[in-house]
Amino acid sequence: MEKMLINGPTKLNGSVRVSRAKNAYLPILAGVLLCEGPVTLKNVPELRDINTMKKLLGNLGVKITGDNSSMTFDSSKIDHVEATYDLVKTMRASICVLGPLLTRFHEAKVSLPGGCAIGSRPIDIHLSNLELLGAEIILEGGYVHAKTKGLKGTSLVLEFPSVGATENILMAAVLAKGNTKIENCALEPEVTDLANFLNAMGAKISGIGTKTLLIEGVEKLTGGEYEAIGDRIEAATYIIAGLMTESEIEVTGFIPEHLEFVINKLKMAGAKFEISENGVKTFPSKLEGIDVDTAPYPGFPTDVQAQFIALATYINGSSVITENIFENRFMHVPELTRMGADITLKGNAAIVKGGKELIGAPVMCTDLRASAALVLAALVAQGETEVQRVYHLDRGYEKLAAKFKELGANIKRMD
């Protein structure tokens, strides 16, 4: 079983460049299905989730050439419209192929993602809005089977600004006949990046970066070249590592504005930063308890909640961290407790008493961001932490052990 051995406590120094965002590239990879010409994507991160999406595209008939630095996708000949359970069950974002397949090929069969470690995560908003665009949807044998004689633009209001639903519906609307208005869209930078990608391929989307997207349907998307934004969640993870280890490190390759809420929260807690156009430098700072509530962008990202709990266990004072997006996203808490953290769960809030000395222990990854929290705790814990099931980290952190090693951490991966 793959694991990581981390010896702490450690000081970090130097600079780390984050990869291009997985959560931007996953919907963009689904968006490739809309394009009749070849699409070249630059600096695609080498991650399990990306490989799963590539496999899914390959099964549908997309020809993929090149390597991660420059990868070309040819979707001119698609011979299947089915995304099977074995792939969808490992990655919920697979549902994003539903909109593109349906709008371009008028049929799609995608396995229902089902529950996952962080909650039940339904797809009702995706399906009800695709129906309003003219899809006939049947749920059978664990699959969503969607058909249409051709989607038609209309006005839609999302009942919640779901990231995946906004992306799926946006992609469906791009080739629908006429105009579509989507209100209450998700504002996450990855949604904006997808819209920019689609426009670069010939779509006509306006209102990008606002809560209302307007889409003028086009006959086809061509192809072209695109590079996604830097990974703000990976960046936040390294920034928190810099602060927890009281180190001066530079985190580059992303747009700091995408982490404005996180950076401001950290500043309020006492963190000292130097912010440049494409990065953040941390300085040794004395932090005091922080209260955060996760919320849709531009609020505090749920994907940084686990890392914040790791930080809160280490800094002085008490913190209350409330999770409002997912119902079961505290699986890192029992593992952190095994390392000496003092955390009480009350409903959807974690009450953390900080200033505890963490002690290395064998711990188990349960989901992507929970795993990142364990690595952060291990960096400041006394002695050795054995982080098991690191395949969760491979879903979303490119070369995590190598990047931390480069920053000076005593971290070893055992495959």
Catalytic residues: 116
**Residues in 48-87 at the binding interface with ligand UD1, rule: CB under 6 A:** none
Residue 286 in contact with residue 302, Cβ under 8 Å?
no
- Tell me how far, at minimum, the Cβ of 19 lies from ligand UD1, in Å: 15
Return the number of the residue (12 or 170) whose C-beta is nearest ligand UD1.
Answer: 170
Interaction of residue 26 with ligand UD1, rule CB under 6 A: yes
- Which residue in 28, 44, 71, 123 binds ligand UD1 (CB under 6 A)? 123
Query: How far, in Å, CA of 43 to CA of 54, rounded?
Result: 14
End-to-end alpha carbon distance in the chain: 7
User: E strand or H helix at 412, and its extent?
Assistant: strand 410-414
Return the number of the residue (306 or 381) whose C-beta is nearest ligand UD1.
Answer: 306
Query: How far, in Å, CA of 124 to CA of 355, rounded?
Result: 42
User: E strand or H helix at 16, and its extent?
Assistant: strand 13-17
Interaction of residue 326 with ligand UD1, rule CB under 6 A: yes
Beta bridge partners of 142: none
For ligand UD1, how many residues bind (rule: CB under 6 A)?
Answer: 21
- Tell me how far, at minimum, the Cβ of 23 lies from ligand UD1, in Å: 4
**Residues in 332-361 at the binding interface with ligand UD1, rule: CB under 6 A:** none
Interaction of residue 23 with ligand UD1, rule CB under 6 A: yes
- Which residue in 94, 196, 302, 385 binds ligand UD1 (CB under 6 A)? 302
- Tell me how far, at minimum, the Cβ of 122 lies from ligand UD1, in Å: 4
Residue 358: φ, ψ to 5°: -90, 145
- Which residue in 6, 44, 50, 93 binds ligand UD1 (CB under 6 A)? 93
DSSP 370-392: HHHHHHHHHHHSBEEEEEE-THH
The burial of 155, by beta-carbon neighbours within 10 Å (0-12 exposed, 13-18 middle, 19 or more buried), is given as exposed
Return the number of the residue (16 or 26) whose C-beta is nearest ligand UD1.
Answer: 26
**Residues in 164-223 at the binding interface with ligand UD1, rule: CB under 6 A:** 164-165, 190
**Backbone angle region of 30, left / alpha / beta, with phi > 0 → left and psi within -120 to 50 → alpha:** alpha
Binding region for ligand UD1 (CB under 6 A) out of 66-74, 75-83, 161-169, 383-391: 161-169
Q: In one letter, which amino acid is 225?
A: E
Q: In one letter, which amino acid is 99?
A: G
H runs (alpha helix) in 221-342: 232-244, 260-268, 305-314, 332-338
- Tell me how far, at minimum, the Cβ of 168 lies from ligand UD1, in Å: 9
- Which residue in 51, 160, 284, 316 binds ligand UD1 (CB under 6 A)? 160
- Which residue in 92, 258, 332, 403 binds ligand UD1 (CB under 6 A)? 92
Query: How far, in Å, CA of 147 to CA of 166, rounded?
Result: 20
**Residues in 101-120 at the binding interface with ligand UD1, rule: CB under 6 A:** 119
Within the chain, how many helices (H) and strands (E) appear?
14, 24
Tell me the residue nearest to ligand UD1 as measured from the CB.
164
Return the number of the residue (6 or 146) whose C-beta is nearest ligand UD1.
Answer: 146
- Tell me how far, at minimum, the Cβ of 10 lies from ligand UD1, in Å: 28
CA distances from 305 to 60, 164, 200, 236, 312 (A): 35, 19, 33, 10, 10
Q: Which residues of this chain interact with ligand UD1, rule CB under 6 A?
A: 23, 26, 92-93, 119, 121-126, 160, 162-165, 190, 302-303, 325-326
